[in-house]
Copies of this chain bind each other. A is one copy, B any other.
């Protein structure tokens, strides 16, 4: 079965299973993340107090860690929840939002990578480059630019994937998803996605949602990234010209209507193997 068929099938399975997805995330885009998770067919729960983070992880099918508004009160919760997720064997998806932008984010990102077994990392080129140990200069959290001339996204993704034995997804004009050997390039999406806050965070929440519904994390990562890309295309067609407000809402609409047929029709995947 090829990746397109696997993703299409997973998009139906997730609606049957409706996995509970524990998100320790930021307060800027959290509502969109919850609605994206619901739209795709999973069930969100947000809990970041140290008094319940591990307990909530224990009843969940996946844990998503997003450091968009990192703060010292929830950092211990991230590690407690991560530890529990590793113990019970559910996937941990990490979004290193703004890694490279401050010492706090840099140090916390490093500690997460070193102490929690991650299943999937999803970020932009700049953020994943930081995880790869490269010097980066970040311009905010909604930037997906980074020094695309300086580093090769495929090389960086593969090296991080091999080093951490996980799936790496670098999203941008062309999305790159790899387990270190198999490489999936996705050409879906629309540049207007960068004009709405939270499309990156939502992508990670979708990746986490799919990871909660399958053991095949490469397919889960491709499904999550492709879902946002396809939803962005449909949203742009429907109301890109109206403005970013309606475009934002149309993304959620498109996610809520996404099914295996839409994916088969629209997915622009390019697969290669080392």
Are A250 and B245 in contact, with the CB atoms below 8 A? Answer: yes
Residues of chain B with a CB closer than 8 A to A245's CB = 35, 39, 248-253, 255-256
Q: Does A112 contact B (CB under 8 A)?
A: no
Q: Does A213 contact B (CB under 8 A)?
A: no
> Which of A118-126, A192-200, A215-223 sits within the interface?
A192-200
A101 CB contact (under 8 Å) in B44, B56, B140: B56
Contact indicator per residue, chain A 248-274, by CB within 8 Å of chain B (1) or not (0): 111111111100000000000000000
Residues of chain B with a CB closer than 8 A to A246's CB = 249-250, 253
Copy tally for this chain in the complex stands at 3
A55 CB contact (under 8 Å) in B29, B38, B104, B140: B104
Are A29 and B31 in contact, with the CB atoms below 8 A? Answer: yes
With both chains docked as a complex, state the minimum distance between the C-beta of A153 and any C-beta of chain B, in angstroms: 21
Are A71 and B71 in contact, with the CB atoms below 8 A? Answer: no
Chain B residue at minimum C-beta to C-beta distance from A108: B51
Contact indicator per residue, chain A 31-42, by CB within 8 Å of chain B (1) or not (0): 110110011000
A142 CB contact (under 8 Å) in B43, B141, B142: B43
C-alpha spacing A59/B246, complex, angstroms:
31
With both chains docked as a complex, state the minimum distance between the C-beta of A27 and any C-beta of chain B, in angstroms: 4
Are B253 and A243 in contact, with the CB atoms below 8 A? Answer: yes
C-alpha spacing A251/B245, complex, angstroms:
7
Residues of chain B with a CB closer than 8 A to A139's CB = 20, 43, 59
C-alpha spacing A49/B108, complex, angstroms:
13
Are B72 and A46 in contact, with the CB atoms below 8 A? Answer: no
With both chains docked as a complex, state the minimum distance between the C-beta of A40 and any C-beta of chain B, in angstroms: 10
Given A243-B256, A243-B257, 15 other A-B residues pairs in contact with their CB atoms under 8 A: A31-B197, A34-B197, A35-B197, A35-B248, A43-B142, A44-B197, A46-B69, A48-B71, A49-B71, A50-B72, A51-B72, A52-B70, A55-B101, A55-B102, A248-B249
